[in-house]
Amino acid sequence: METFEINSTFDLYNVLYAVEQFGTLIQDYFWIASCFSNLFHLFILLHKELRSLGIYTIITGICIADLTAALVNLHYFAIKQSLLPEINPIPPPCLRSDYKDFIPVIKLQQKLEALGHRLAVWLAILLCFIRIISLKSHTKSWVGKINKPKNTIYMMAGIATFWLLLDSWQFLFTTVFWLPDNIADVCKVLPPKFIKQINVYAIPSSINSISTYIYELSPKLKIASVVLLVTLTCILFRVRKLSVLENDESSDNTRLILFMSVLFTFPEVFGALESAIPYSESDIVYLEMSTTAIVVSNNLRTLNSISHVFMCYSISTQYKKVVRSLAFWRHPDVAVVGDVSMQLMN
């Protein structure tokens, strides 16, 4: 019986490890595809016909958030392929003990990637919520106001500011120190040549307890976003079935938002599973489950971001009209005009 349990454990580990390795192998190419698809998607969304609509203003925000995360990961890929130099300086030792140093460039990349992921999810939640309100309370005058691009931009800015402050508030306390004048007591016995003559970016160690609390709150926020997204998607599906007042374009927009909400749910479920898996350094299977869930979640997120341009084109009549109106899609009718002219002459 013990032998069977051990073999089963290692079989599960091998399967998880294979999934993780395959996901890691393909995820860089997904990011490249995401960059190109979102650049084209953004180009289409910035046309006047779409940017004048509140729904597409939020979809533009989602596109920018996805593109930000994709560009950061594309930068990592370029470094991995030796196309760009690696920026990974080692923090200098011997800084005074009441401050903790950090590397600004690395922190900026990490925060931009995390902010891009979070913004995309919560803007999708906002999009779904506004659509539900629009369908249920279409006769109210204030419903038209919240659908205006100007007001949706205000709401998006509020969401972005909230997540930016929640994730990066501690860097508001950043101080720049000249290291030789702010060394730790244990380093004062060292010769001056061992102390680097550089400026160091640091934040107070006294705020670590608050940072730790917010970090521990992060998994709960992931789970909350999944629950909220699933709930709103179900409500939108029910409201759409009951609504009989939508015209064709409005119905297309509702279907588009519904499909986007569903596709946003899958990667977030895996992200929530990763947060819910109990962490144990001694159990290699649990560690591999957590790692695999992260890789799968990241790949599903990227596929989701790639799919938006195709989904908008296939579902939205307004989006399709803009794409087809582009110059390189048009076919000149010179030959037809020439034929008609020849017939008239005859």
Q: What is the pLDDT of residues 264-273, one digit of tens each?
A: 988 888 777 7
The pLDDT value given to residue 159: 94
Contact assessment for residue 142 and residue 167, using Cβ atoms and an 8 Å cutoff = no
Q: State the Cα–Cα distance between residues 219 and 121, nearest whole angstrom.
A: 14
Q: How many CA atoms lie within 13 A of 215 on its CB side?
A: 7
Q: Specify the DSSP class assigned to residue 178.
A: E
Residue type at position 203: I
pLDDT, averaged per 10 consecutive residues of the chain (346 residues), comes to 48 87 89 94 91 90 94 88 74 81 85 92 94 79 80 93 89 88 83 82 86 83 90 89 63 88 87 70 77 88 93 90 76 49 44
| Conformational region of residue 86, where left means phi above 0, alpha means psi within -120 to 50, and beta covers everything else | beta
Neighbours of 308 (CB within 10 A): 23
pLDDT at 4: 39
The pLDDT value recorded for residue 246 is 55
Question: Residue 62 corresponds to which tokens in the numbers above?
Answer: 């989602």
The per-residue pLDDT for 342 is 43
Residues belonging to the chain: 346
CB 34 within 8 A of CB 72: no
| DSSP letter (8 states) at residue 179 | G
How many Å apart are CA 291 and CA 94, to the nearest integer?
34
The whole-number pLDDT of residue 268 equals: 86
Q: What is the pLDDT of residue 309?
A: 94
pLDDT tens profile 26-74: 988 999 999 999 999 999 999 888 888 888 999 999 999 999 999 999 8
In this prediction, residue 269 carries a pLDDT of: 84
pTM value is 0.85
Lookup: tokens for 131 = 């659509």
Pairing relationship of beta strands 175-178 and 99-101 according to DSSP bridges = unpaired
Residue 234 is predicted with a pLDDT of 92
pLDDT of residue 108: 86
Which domains are present in the chain? 2-87+118-154+219-330 (1.20.1070.10)
What is the distance in angstroms between the CA of the first residue and the CA of the last residue of the chain?
95
